Structure 1
Amino acid sequence: MKALVLTGGRGTRLRPLTHTSAKQLVPVANRPVLFYGLEAIRDAGITEVGIVTGDTGAEVRAAVGDGSRFGFHATYIPQEAPLGLAHCVLIARDFLGDEDFVLYLGDNLLIGGIKDLLTGFQDSGHAARLLLSKVAEPQFYGVAELDRDGAIASLQEKPQVPRSDLAIVGVYAFSPVVHEAVRAIRPSARGELEITDAIQWLIDRGHRVDPHIVSGYWKDTGRLQDILECNRILLEEIETDVRGVVAGYSEIGGRVVVHPDAVIEDSVLRGPVIIGAGTKIVRSYVGPFTSVAESCVIEDAEIEYSIVLGGSTIEGVPRIEYSLIGRDVEVTRAVHLPNAHRLMVGDHSKVQLRI
C-alpha cells in the first residue's frame, strides 16, 4: 500500500501567514502539522509516499526531504494549480500504479493514527473506506449518509440541511478502481475535480464504500481557532523537560518544555508551555497553552494561549492571548507620543485592539 499526501492549496483562511508559507507547515506544539500526518503514515507501515505540492512546493521539499527522517521514501508530484483532490489522484496515477492507497490531507491533525482505518481494508474487496467524525455543526463539512447496512449511501458538501452528523475527515483509503472514477467525473461549479464526486460515482455504480468513525481526536487546521485548539490538545500531552538556562527570580509550574539552548530569566512560565531552541524569555509571563518557536525574544511582556513562530520578538506588551504570530515578526510597545497604535499589517490580516 502507498500513501498520497496533499500539501497544495492556497490556505486563504490563514492569510497573510500562508502568502509566503505552506499552511501544512504551520507548527503546533513547535512541530509542523504535516509531520504528525507523515508519522501516522509511517506508523501504519507505509514506505512509499507521494507528496502533491503546489506553490509552496520548495518549502515542503526542504522540510520533508527524501522522507528518510520519517522512515519512508518520498516522491514529489507538482500540481500546476489547486484543481481539486480528485485531480491530485489523477496526476499521481503513475506513482500509485495499481495498488491500494491512503489519501491524506496534509493540514489535518489526527491523533490516534490510521492503523484502524486500514485494518482489513485490503482484504475487504471494497472500493474505498472513509474516515468520519461526529461533529456539532455538520453544515460546515462534507457529510456522509449511511444506509441500513452501514455502508456510505451518499455524500453532501456543506449542506444547508445535513442528512447526518458524520463529517468527512481528510483521510481516505482507496482501491485502484478510484482511478476510473476520477477520470469519469467533471469539474464542479468551482472548477475543481471533487473527491466527493468521485466517491459518489463509485457508490452509484454499486461499489461499496465503508465508513470508519474516528476514535481519537481530529481537526482540520485551516482556521486560527483550529490551529490554537490543536496546539492546546498536543500541549496537554507533553511531559516536563526543562533543560535550558533558568536564571534569576524565575518560576516554572505545570508541564513545561524548555529547549537546552533556551534562556528563561526573571520570568514566570505556567504550563503547558513549550519553548524552542535559542529563545529568550526575559521578565515576562508565558501562560498555559503557548508554543514559542526557535530564536524568539519575549521581554517585558505577557502571552498565553498563543503560538509564536520562529525569529519573532515581543517586547513591552502587557498582554497577548489567543494569537498566532508569524515568523520574524516584531510586536513592540511605542515609547513616544502621540499615544497611538502603530501598525504595518499585510493583506487579509486580523488585528483586535483593546481600546
Structure 2
Amino acid sequence: MRIDRGGSEAQKADMALQKTNWLLVFALLVAGLFAAAQFGKLTLTLPLLRDAYPEGGALVPVLISIVGMVGIALGAVAGAVVARVGIARALTGALVAGGLLSLIEATLPHISVFALLRAAEGVSHLAIVVAVPTLMASIASDKDRPVVMGIWATFFGISIAITAALLPWLLSMGGLKAVFLAHGGGMLVMAALLFPLLPKGRISRPVPVSYWAEHRIIYTTPRLLIPGGGFVWYTSLYIALLAVLPVALALPVWVITALPLISIVGTLLGGFLGKRLAPDRLVIAGFVMTIVASAIVYFASPAIWPLFVLFFVMALIPAASFAAIPHFNYDATDRARATGGIAQLGNVGTTTGTPIFVLVFDQAGLGGVCLLMSMICILGIVLTALLRARIK
C-alpha cells in the first residue's frame, strides 16, 4: 500500500538520490551524547549534588527532572520552532547555549539560580534532540535511514555509559565543578566542529509557531503521532525497570551495568531489522516479545538471564520508533514536528513510569511489575495498530 508521507515530489526525488553522509551522522550522534549528558551529569552525581546544596532538601532531585519537564511542556512546539529558526542554526545555537549554561553551573550558584539554569538547559536539550534526528534523516539514503535512526536511538544509553566511566576521573580532578566544566567545554567544541559540516541551505520550511495549534496538528495527524505513540510506552518501562528490578531481584552491580549495554545492542539490531520490516510492525513485534519476556522474568525468577532477553527485545522499540519519523514523513518540517512529539511523549513516559512501577512493586511485588509491564505493552500494540490503520 502506498503511504502519503507528505512533502513535494522534488523533495522525495532529492532524498532518493542521496548517499549517506556517515561522517556527519556520527558527529551528530556525539552532539546527542552531550545532550543526554545534560541528564546524566546530575543523575550520576546526585549524592555530591546534595552535599553541594544541603539547604536544597527535596528540591535537589527535582533539578534532574527540570530538563524533562521542559520537554513535556514545550516538546510539541519545539519542532515548529526548530523548523522556523533553521535546523542547522538551531542545533549550533543549542550546543553553544548548553555549553555556556554548563560552564555557569560549574560556579555552583545559589540553588534557585541553578534551577533556572536547568530550565534553560532543558530548552537547549530539546532543541538538540529535535534537530539532530531530523538532520540525520535528511542526510541518510533510503536504504540506510532505518540503520541511521537506530544509531540515534542508542544515544541516551551510550551517553550514560560513557558518563559513568568518565565520572571517577573527572571527580578526582575537581569534583562537580570539573564535571560541569568538561561537559560545557565539550559542547562548545562540538558546536565548533559541527558548524562547517552542517548543511548551509534551509532543509525545512518555516511554519507559524502556535503552542496549541502545534499540539492539535501533531495529536490529530497519525503519521506525526505514530513514532511517539509506541515510544511513550517504552520510556515508561525502561527507566522504571532499571530502578525497580535491581531491588526486586537483588541484582549484583555487574548485571545492573550490563542491562543498558544490552539495550544498546538490541537497539542497533532494531536499526538493521528496520531495513526489512516496516517500523510499525517492528514496534508491535518488540512489544509482543517484551510481554513474553516479562512472563519469563516472573516464572524463572530469581534467574538473571531472562532480564538480558527482556532488555534486548524491548530495545527494538526505540529503534523502530525513531525510524518511523522519516518512514511516515518525507518533509523535514513534518519530521521536526514528529520528533518534537516523540520528545514530549518520551519525557511523559520517563517522568510517570518510575513512580507508578515503584508503587505497584511496593503493593504487589515482582508479579505486579510483570503484569503492569504486559498491560503497558498491550496499550503500545493497540495504539500503534490504530494509528497505522489511519495512515493512508
TM range (shorter): under 0.3
Larger strand proportion of the pair: 1
Larger helix proportion of the pair: 2
Q: Which has the higher contact order (CA 8 A, sep 6+)?
A: 2
TM-score, with normalisation over the residues of structure 2? 0.25
Task: State the structure with more CA Rg.
Answer: 1
TM-score, with normalisation over the residues of structure 1? 0.27
